[in-house]
Structure formats: structure tokens, C-alpha cells
Chains A and B, each alone.
Chain A
Amino acid sequence: AAGVIQSPRHLIKEKRETATLKCYPIPRHDTVYWYQQGPGQDPQFLISFYEKMQSDKGSIPDRFSAQQFSDYHSELNMSSLELGDSALYFCASSLGMDRDYEQYFGPGTRLTVT
């Protein structure tokens, strides 16, 4: 079965650079969630989209922005990168905005800021 695809899987950037993380949800899934997991930490919710509209926002820095496109893929744009942004970034998708629908996680993008 098709899974959530995230690209790139690994990304190394320097401080003050920009990064773009991409998420391709499971076919027919219209809801996307982004989570950030720092080293040794639990995942923290960043932002979510339902039917191409932002549905919820968590502790996402102003330096980050995200959107969901017409084909339901999503991109997380990160600017002025800081050392503290080094983390594993997960994207999860679900069939709809309903807790009955499981959030399926992608493999994550490991971002290292040097």
C-alpha cells in the first residue's frame, strides 16, 4: 500500500540558510499534519492543512511557513535557519479532519543545521 512520502530524507544546511521540506500524502488523503521532533524529544505539532486550507497552528516559528497545494502535497518552508531547528520533521496524512481517521506518518526528514 502507498505510504506518505517525504523528501528529502536528509538535509544539511548552514545557519541562516533556507530549507524546503516536501510531503506527499497517501492518495485520497486531504489532510496533512507537520510535526517536529528534536533530539531525544517527543514530536511537537507545527501546523495542519485540510482541503488546502490551514486548519490548526501550533508552536511554529514565524520563520517557518507552509502550504498545501491543489494535489494535496504540502511544503514546509524554513528560513533563517538556526542550530535549534535541527530535528526530525514528520509529515502525517489522514483521510479527513476527523479523529476516526488515523494519521499515517511519513519516514521523516532529518534536518541538520551546522
Chain B
Amino acid sequence: AQTVTQSQPEMSVQEAETVTLSCTYDTSESDYYLFWYKQPPSRQMILVIRQEAYKQQNATENRFSVNFQKAAKSFSLKISDSQLGDAAMYFCAYSGGSNYKLTFGKGTLLTVNP
């Protein structure tokens, strides 16, 4: 079974600085996607960024970028120029093989300090 591991239950960053959230996964599939979702206090699930496994280039969305290391099965999220609105729970998620469901990690609670 596919598993997603987030080893940092909590992280904090100063406003305007950079923070990296870690995620590792385990799969035997060759066709899969990886995602980072943000869940603010409103509990809404918001897609931040996604990466197709077959693409070597790391995905980037404005201040958010990933470091995808396929061989190491690592998928970290870097948030640059952190803003107060970035404070939220961040979930790493996987979807692969014949399954289209999302499998989530346990989450990392990010605090942004002013």
C-alpha cells in the first residue's frame, strides 16, 4: 500500500522568510502524482501545487515550489517570502497507479510569526 509520511508535525517561520516542509512517500507505481494541500482554520482544502512523477522539472507556483527527488521518494515544499496568510495545516498527498483517490500524510502545522 502507498504511504505518505510527514515527519514534521509543526513548523514555524518568520514573516518574509523561507520555510521547507518535508514529505516522503512509498510506492511501487511508476505513474503517480504528488500534491501539497493547504488547510487553513476554515478547514477548506486548497490545492497548493502538484507534481507529475514523469516530469523531471520541479513544479513552481508563485512563492511555492517543490523539490521532487524521485529516487529518494522525497517531495518537499518550499514557501518563499512567507506571509501571515500562509499559516495553515499543510498536507502532502499521493495519487497513483489504478487509484485516483488521494492518500494524505498526517500534516504539518505551519505557524507564521510577524
Interface set of A (CB-CB < 8 Å, partner B): 31, 33, 35, 37, 41-45, 48, 55-56, 58, 88, 90, 92, 97-99, 102-103, 105, 107-108
List of A residues within 8 angstroms of B105 by Cβ: 42
Q: How far is the CB of A37 from chain B (nearest CB, A)?
A: 8
B100 touches A43 (CB 8 A): no
Whether, in the assembled complex, B68 has its beta carbon less than 8 Å from a beta carbon of chain A, the answer is no
Whether, in the assembled complex, B33 has its beta carbon less than 8 Å from a beta carbon of chain A, the answer is yes
List of A residues within 8 angstroms of B42 by Cβ: 107
- In the bound complex, what is the Cα–Cα distance between A56 and B45 (angstroms)? 21
Q: How far is the CB of A4 from chain B (nearest CB, A)?
A: 10
- How many A-B pairs have beta carbons closer than 8 Å: the answer is 50
List of B residues within 8 angstroms of A102 by Cβ: 47, 50
B104 touches A48 (CB 8 A): no
Whether, in the assembled complex, B95 has its beta carbon less than 8 Å from a beta carbon of chain A, the answer is yes
Interface set of B (CB-CB < 8 Å, partner A): 32-33, 42-47, 50, 52, 91, 95-96, 99-107
Known: A41-B106, A88-B43, A107-B43. 9 other contacts (CB 8 A): A31-B100, A33-B101, A35-B102, A48-B100, A90-B45, A99-B32, A99-B95, A103-B102, A107-B44
A48 touches B101 (CB 8 A): yes
B106 touches A42 (CB 8 A): yes
Chain B residue nearest in CB terms to A58: B101
Q: Which of A45, A90, A99 has the most CB of B within 10 A?
A: A99
List of B residues within 8 angstroms of A90 by Cβ: 45
List of B residues within 8 angstroms of A43 by Cβ: 45, 91, 102, 104
- In the bound complex, what is the Cα–Cα distance between A89 and B76 (angstroms)? 27
A42 touches B91 (CB 8 A): yes
- In the bound complex, what is the Cα–Cα distance between A31 and B44 (angstroms)? 19
A99 touches B33 (CB 8 A): yes
- In the bound complex, what is the Cα–Cα distance between A35 and B45 (angstroms)? 11
